[in-house]
Copies of this chain bind each other. A is one copy, B any other.
Amino acid sequence: MSLAQEMFAIAPATGKANLSAAQLKLLTGKSRWIYRVGEAGFPTVPTIAITRTAWDGLQAERAKKDSRLRTHWVACLFKLVGADGKPPQLVVRTSAAAHNGGLMPAKVGIAAPSSEEDSVDPARPLARAIKNAFDSYGFSNITWTGPRSEEDRARQIVLVQATADGDLEQFLTRNATSGALGPGPLNGAPLPRLPESVNALVSLLDAKAGRHMECLVAVKRGNVQFLSARPIQATAAAELEAAVDRVSRKVWTAQNAVSRVDPARMAQLLHPRLRSNDGVKPIATGLGVSPGAASGVVVFTPEDAARIHARGKHCILVVTETGPADIEGMKAATGILTARGGMSSHAGVIARITGKPCVAGVRTLSVDVADMSCRIGDREFRAGDRLTIDGTDGSVYVGTLPLAQPHIGGAIGTLLGWSDASRTIAVRANAETVESAKTALSFGAQGIGLARSEHMFFSPERMVALRRMILSEDEDDRMRAVNGLVDFQTGDYSALFSTMKGLPVNVRLFDPPLHEFLPRTDEDIDDTAASLGLAVRALRLRLDRIAEVNPMLGHRGVRLAITYPEILQMQMQAAMAGARAAAETQSEPVIVEIMVPFVSTATEVRFVRDKVNAIVAHSGLARSERIKISFGTMIELPRACLRAGDIAQMVDFFSFGTNDLTQTTFGISRDDAPTFLAAYQRKGIYENDPFVTIDEKGVGELIGEAIKRGRAKNPTLKIGICGEHAGDPASLKFFAGLGVDYVSCSPYRVPVARLTLAQSAA
């Protein structure tokens, strides 16, 4: 492209712009909208554009006393002259690709150059304004998306516009909060009176841009002339409503809407959240382990939480860490704040199950329960003071910030309905209670992909039963404890199967990491001893004996099923009894998947499979048409990935537990990671937190290899993902590329997964 072609009218005073393909490519920022509105025939202020290269060319030519380019430039400026032949006053605007604080504001009231030399002389108003505009783009070579190339810089453009005649007015193409088609008011400003004809502009821009736009027009005697526009960030809800509205107006196809909504933004709609944290600084930051925001008074004990809750008020439970004794208190609290622990800490697990916002691992927090006070950094808080926490990003604020409640309106449902049409990978939820199963169904889950049996015991009387089993000293002792659990479990399973009528329910065999289920405080130990009928000293001895150095890598998962087969027996009996009970009350089949966790060898899988098959055969359900039972394994250890070929021959399905697989592949305990993870991200060691977005190059290679080896040996093998990555859009795109059959995430992430997987399929 010659330099002369890099100065051109995008909205000539008369006629059409007739841009070349190369010139069209130069249109970034405002220039794009001015050109498009003008081309569509809507009255638009005459506007020309010039690139930095062309401008530099004009200046170089000027130094050499040449005038070939200048002639082009002046001809170009003449395109701003209307039918009356009078050169207008001029306006110089930047037209950056992204909005940026340092850009020069529009320079108005520039007299038209009085001579050709005048038009390029930086001492004169027009050329000075153009120079300032280019300078304001800055010289930084770094942008958010990587180093800015020299080429990009050369192609930056500045606009010269004729001055519009009339009153300048600003408005939005759509309401920033509701998403309704505008004109809508700017944030804080009343909507100006605008002529009817502006509606055509609003529709035109909304269709061309496909997002909320801020518009500048001149109004004179009922006529509207378009000056400029730039996109604005609306709320996630408004964007979603707008997307659905564009489909109803036939501006977009349903497919367009599905592909253009950002799943991560949609996720923000599914929890209470801070309405705004503008200007408010967090006093501390921890790990956001359970999303959503919560405000309330500070309490330090479960009892106080229950008291406040009973009075219908909100409280934040502030503790060093939580344990089984705190569960009722956590349910009563509106949010939870802890000094210790991470994503898979007791606090994190319970908070996500109960849907409570939780910030964990705030290192600057220290709690003094005896004194009923805590310190966060250098500030002290006493019971009754107010805090707001944001479990989405881990922030902690002083006082009560305004919250927005989750808005799961018609638009989200409509969009997800469309998304299902193109999606081929099923979306299930991780859930073990009837309540969370119902939430999952309301969000469109197609089954339960992970029912963590041990989580069914998070209530005081059941916890006693579970502890009795864990602490049993011999087989008889254990057998009695186990029998005490059968009834609970049978009822739980029956209710869960009935809730999920006809949809698959994946029951993971017991996997209780000991430290999450045993008493720790003196008081809790005293209580447990009393409820188990043990001397405190005897209980302490047993606790000492089974304490583990690294419980994450300890006596759990399949290892329990093999060393204590009576636990497996109990659980399978309960699952079979639950299935039978559910089948009696519904016409749909009961679809049960039995899943064994934490395996590292095919021999372990065969051992459990044989026991499971025997129990199923003995129950008489194996031949039932109304109850369908399959058997599979979690793949959550590196060795299981490597031996996937052997393991696949013994199972109907794999379900990848990406949390534990990430922990073991990296050698990182998620609970202990906060001490170095922040420094790692700050120093650029990790691009992403591998517990949030799947590590494609390491963990991802293992998953891909396991799928390949597994399917090679068992072509009908079903593949699922049930770690928390199954709710992360970037990770979901990666899993879709691996050809998985389903994913399973927390109920609140089901819509995110539905949308993301629809986008990946397109």
Contacts and interface: CB of A to CB of B under 8 A. Distances in A.
Nearest to A342: B549
A550 B672 contact: yes
Contacts of A701: 642
B698 A639 contact: yes
A671 B563 contact: no
Interface in A596-632: 598, 600-601, 603-604, 607
Interface stretch (A19-27, A528-536, A680-688): A680-688
Interface string A683-719: 1111000000001011101100000000000000000
B603 A685 contact: yes
A106 interface: no
A660 interface: yes
A248 to B, nearest CB: 48
Interface in A643-677: 643, 660, 663-669, 671-672, 675-676
Nearest to A679: B563
A684 B552 CA distance: 24
Contact of A600 (B554, B667, B672): B667
Contact of A559 (B541, B638, B676, B697): B676
A698 B701 CA distance: 15
A282 interface: no
Give the copy number. Answer: 2
A545 interface: yes
A704 to B, nearest CB: 11
Given A643-B697, A685-B603, A672 B366 contact: no
A667 B544 contact: no
A506 interface: no
A701 B642 CA distance: 8
Contact of A702 (B546, B598, B636, B638): B638
Nearest to A545: B363
Contact of A562 (B607, B676, B699): B676
A650 to B, nearest CB: 14
A320 interface: yes
Interface string A509-548: 0000001000000000000000000000000010011111
A240 B567 CA distance: 51
A714 B132 CA distance: 52
A555 interface: yes
Contact of A642 (B544, B550, B607, B698): B698
A369 interface: no
Select the residue from A553, A664, A698 with max chain B CB neighbours within 10 A.
A553
Contacts of A600: 665-668, 698
Interface in A559-573: 559, 562-563
A551 interface: yes
Contacts of A636: 667
A92 interface: no
A637 interface: yes
B603 A684 contact: yes
A555 B675 contact: yes
Nearest to A600: B666
A698 B553 contact: no
Select the residue from A604, A638, A701 with max chain B CB neighbours within 10 A.
A638
B544 A663 contact: no
B669 A553 contact: yes
Select the residue from A562, A642, A702 with max chain B CB neighbours within 10 A.
A642
A61 to B, nearest CB: 47
A675 B637 contact: no
A696 to B, nearest CB: 11
A636 B680 CA distance: 19
A339 to B, nearest CB: 8
A664 B638 contact: yes
A9 B697 CA distance: 70
A317 to B, nearest CB: 18
B551 A686 contact: no
Nearest to A667: B637
Contact of A553 (B552, B603, B637): B552
Contacts of A672: 548-551, 553-555
B643 A607 contact: no
Given A549-B552, A637-B665, A643 B562 contact: no
A339 B637 CA distance: 29
Contacts of A340: 544-545, 547
Given A675-B555, A675-B563, A665 B685 contact: no
Contacts of A546: 675
Contacts of A339: 545
A320 B544 contact: yes
Contacts of A551: 549-550, 669, 672
Nearest to A555: B675
Contacts of A547: 340
Contact of A697 (B541, B555, B642): B642
Select the residue from A366, A563, A667 with max chain B CB neighbours within 10 A.
A667
A642 B696 CA distance: 11
B550 A671 contact: yes
Contacts of A555: 672, 675-676
A211 B554 CA distance: 45
A171 to B, nearest CB: 48
Given A553-B668, A555-B675, A675-B555, A702 B642 contact: yes
Contact of A639 (B552, B563, B665): B665
A213 to B, nearest CB: 40
A667 B676 contact: no
Contact of A686 (B550, B598, B601): B601
Contacts of A697: 642-643
A311 B665 CA distance: 51
Given A600-B667, A642-B701, A685 B548 contact: no
Interface of A: 320, 339-341, 345, 363, 366, 515, 541, 544-555, 559, 562-563, 598, 600-601, 603-604, 607, 636-639, 642-643, 660, 663-669, 671-672, 675-676, 679-680, 683-686, 695, 697-699, 701-702
16 contacts: A320-B544, A340-B545, A515-B549, A550-B669, A551-B669, A553-B553, A554-B669, A555-B676, A559-B680, A562-B680, A598-B667, A600-B698, A607-B683, A638-B665, A642-B698, A664-B667
Closest 7 CB pairs of A and B: A550-B669, A553-B669, A639-B698, A638-B638, A554-B672, A637-B667, A549-B671
Given A554-B669, A607-B685, A643-B697, 6 more contacts: A363-B545, A366-B541, A550-B672, A555-B675, A563-B679, A638-B702
